[in-house]
Structure 1
Amino acid sequence: MEAFAGRYQLIDLVGIGGMGSVWRAWDLRRSAYVAAKVLGQHDAATLLRFVREQSLRIEHPHVVAPHGWAADDDKVVFAMELVQGGSVATLLGDHGALPESYAAVLVDQLLHGLSAVHAARVVHRDVKPANLLLDATGTGVPHLRLSDFGVAGLLDEPRMTRHSTILGTPGYLAPEQLAGADPDPRQDLYAVGAVTAELLTGERPGTDGKLPHVDGPLADFVRHLTAKDPSDRPDSATTAGRLLAAAGAVPSPTTQPWLDTPDTPEVFNQLPPLPPTWTPTGPRTRNSPDLGSHQPARPPHTQPPGPAAAARAAASPEPGANKLAPETAAGHRAPTPQPAAPPERSRGSGRGMWVVAVGCFVGAVGLLGSAVWLLVR
């Protein structure tokens, strides 16, 4: 099998997103499976967003950020860790409303991830269930990872889109974000509040800004995070984490209260079985053990959907819900972000050299500031 740009062997398609397709791939340099997002020819604005996304490198257990990229002819690809459990949108579609304790663990992990993102002076701007990936943990403690930084904004940096362009997903956007305000971490916190309401009720926020009604210990938490005036929201993800802890909904690390509920949430391995020429440890060789392509978890959609899943399936699908299916609070502190080392890069041939050149050029122009506006006008 020929490797893309001499590095990534694309194995099978696992998702389709707004900016390209997502493949399970084998990274020859790392000798590991990765998720590879492949983009074809795009306009300048999309290319700028791509170059900026692959420049992010935030090392945190609850963040999935690109760690390498390559270009070949008229296509580009960037790679990130392969997450097997699908997204929170998948979980909600299969299960519906989640137990309060389970939802609180997910939100707590999301706030930890956002603490690291914001500490790196990045605003995600598209926090929603489809961009929250899950490890395949079964009925155990879930492990969430924030992904897809394609429309992320950098604090105190020139805007890469016109003021009239609204980036993000309706229903999860703060009012000032809809009005075209500059990136602000409190916009992400509004989205966290909207996501929390969805986790607890199984209902998506309305595109008109109306949120599902939430009762119980997390009602005040949702109300504070989704305040229309950003000054009425917590000033940081760390402060929001303390507010979540004060609600008393996050269970201790040694307990799993959701196991006692009638319908326990379960996160399955959502990836299809590997092709016969591949094994869990890489390409099949003559000396490979005869493990076939069996996966430790069952393939997706083998469980008949319940009433909640059927009702959600009848509704319009959330935009970008299949973008990447390869996708405590007490004393909550922002983890120290790692230095933003440039992602690894592999060069292809032909027009790929042009894409690499554009990436370097955009990086340089970004440092100059005002010149970026010339690229997007």
Structure 2
Amino acid sequence: MKHFTAVTDVPDLTTSTPPDLTDWQLLSERGGVRCESARWAGRPVFAKTLVFDRPDSRARFEHEGRVAASVRHRLVVSPLRCFHDTLIYPFVPGVTLRERLDTGALGADEATEVAGGVLAAVAALHACGVTHQDLKPENVILAGGDATFAAVRVIDFGMSHSARLPLDIHQGTRMGTPHFMAPEQFLGVRGDPRSDLYSVGVLLFDCLAGAPPFEDAFGWLSGLNECRAPLPGPAELHDVLTRCLTRDRAQRPASAPALYADVSAAREAMGLEALPDLTAWAGECR
């Protein structure tokens, strides 16, 4: 696994010039951040604007922008521009994976393609020293609504950790979504890539079953409840799911590329086409 030391020369992409947004439409407002669809520089965009300029809110907002801007990858939605109070992202027409799953579980072919796309994005993030820390169906967009590898877009770096930034504002906190959070995250551990692999395993489980594996998420995370739903999907995927969902990080796959290879091998064992060559889906660290 590649290791990074904290540095202070990560480019600061912020500028005090306000963005010229037109045709904006409010989508949501929470946590002091307003989300809108709009047009900027002649193209449709998704804009996140800081509404309450308190020190803690600004720290989280700028942290998200810097982490998201530090990686470029075809399956990762990074900002086009970071302004002082607004992050401008490309608008991705489609649905979230959660919206897709609300219509029913996916078959093994689509589920493993989506998991493969998420893992390709995660491998690029990890190579740049970034752990996402909140991988879940709500943070995966399916471009065009297609449950395919190339349609995957990983979004939302508000809870992420970057080994290349000098300060992690979330250090020691229980950041994440309980049903998709690794047990060590619940204890405050951040920056371990294996936590993301746990979340990908839960995501794959959810795709196949239509629900995550632990109904009592807090009971599982705290060690009070070991009750897990039966493993879904074909038997060829059960070993992958079991190793991802283990409480012991050392027993999980060693890396995103290793898990990607396991999912691809399981697809071939099921008579499906292997996932694309991961080396053709490399990203760029900024």
1:17-50 per-residue CA deviation (whole Å, 9 max, x = no partner) reads 555232111113xx21111112211432332121
Query: What's the counterpart of residue 51 of structure 2?
Result: 40
- Which amino acid letter does the alignment assign opposite residue 59 of structure 1? R
1:184 equivalent in alignment to 2:192? yes
1:46-96 per-residue CA deviation (whole Å, 9 max, x = no partner) reads 32121122123222111112221224xxxx221111111120111111x12
The 1:92–1:42 alpha-carbon spacing in structure 2 relative to 1, beyond 3 Å, is farther
Query: What's the counterpart of residue 61 of structure 2?
Result: 50
Question: Which residues of 2 match residues 211-290 of structure 1 at below 5 A?
Answer: 211-215=228-232, 216=234, 217-248=236-267, 249=270, 251-252=272-273
SS of the equivalent of 1:218 reads helix
Shift of 1:214: 1.7
1:338 equivalent in alignment to 2:284? yes
Question: Which residues of 2 match residues 121-140 of structure 1 at below 5 A?
Answer: 121-137=129-145
- Which amino acid letter does the alignment assign opposite residue 241 of structure 2? V
SS of the equivalent of 1:91 reads helix
Match of 2:158 among 144, 150, 161: 150
**Which structure dedicates a bigger proportion of its chain to helix?**
2
SS of the equivalent of 2:211 reads coil
Query: What's the counterpart of residue 91 of structure 1?
Result: 100
Taking the aligned partners of 1:116 and 1:141, their CA distance within structure 2 comes to: 15
- Which amino acid letter does the alignment assign opposite residue 58 of structure 2? L
Shift of 1:123: 0.5
Taking the aligned partners of 1:125 and 1:100, their CA distance within structure 2 comes to: 25
The 1:172–1:42 alpha-carbon spacing in structure 2 relative to 1, beyond 3 Å, is farther
1:160 equivalent in alignment to 2:169? yes
Q: 2:73·2:282 contact (CA, 8 Å) conserved in 1?
A: no
Shift of 1:227: 1.4
SS of the equivalent of 1:86 reads strand
Q: 2:141·2:153 contact (CA, 8 Å) conserved in 1?
A: yes
Shift of 1:195: 0.8
Taking the aligned partners of 1:191 and 1:230, their CA distance within structure 2 comes to: 12
The 1:42–1:193 alpha-carbon spacing in structure 2 relative to 1, beyond 3 Å, is farther
Question: Which residues of 2 match residues 47-86 of structure 1 at below 5 A?
Answer: 47-55=58-66, 56-57=68-69, 58-71=71-84, 76-86=85-95
Taking the aligned partners of 1:141 and 1:231, their CA distance within structure 2 comes to: 28
Shift of 1:13: 2.1
Taking the aligned partners of 2:251 and 2:159, their CA distance within structure 1 comes to: 25
TM-score normalised by L of structure 1: 0.62
What percentage of aligned pairs have identical amino acids?
A: 26
Higher RCO, 1 or 2 (CA under 8 Å, sep at least 6)? 1
1:108 equivalent in alignment to 2:116? yes
Q: Which has the larger radius of gyration?
A: 1
Taking the aligned partners of 1:81 and 1:250, their CA distance within structure 2 comes to: 36
SS of the equivalent of 1:251 reads coil
Q: Which runs of 5+ in 2 are unaligned?
A: 1-16, 221-226
Structural RMSD (CA): 2.4
- Which amino acid letter does the alignment assign opposite residue 283 of structure 2? P
Query: What's the counterpart of residue 38 of structure 2?
Result: 25
Give the paired residue count: 254
TM-score normalised by L of structure 2: 0.80
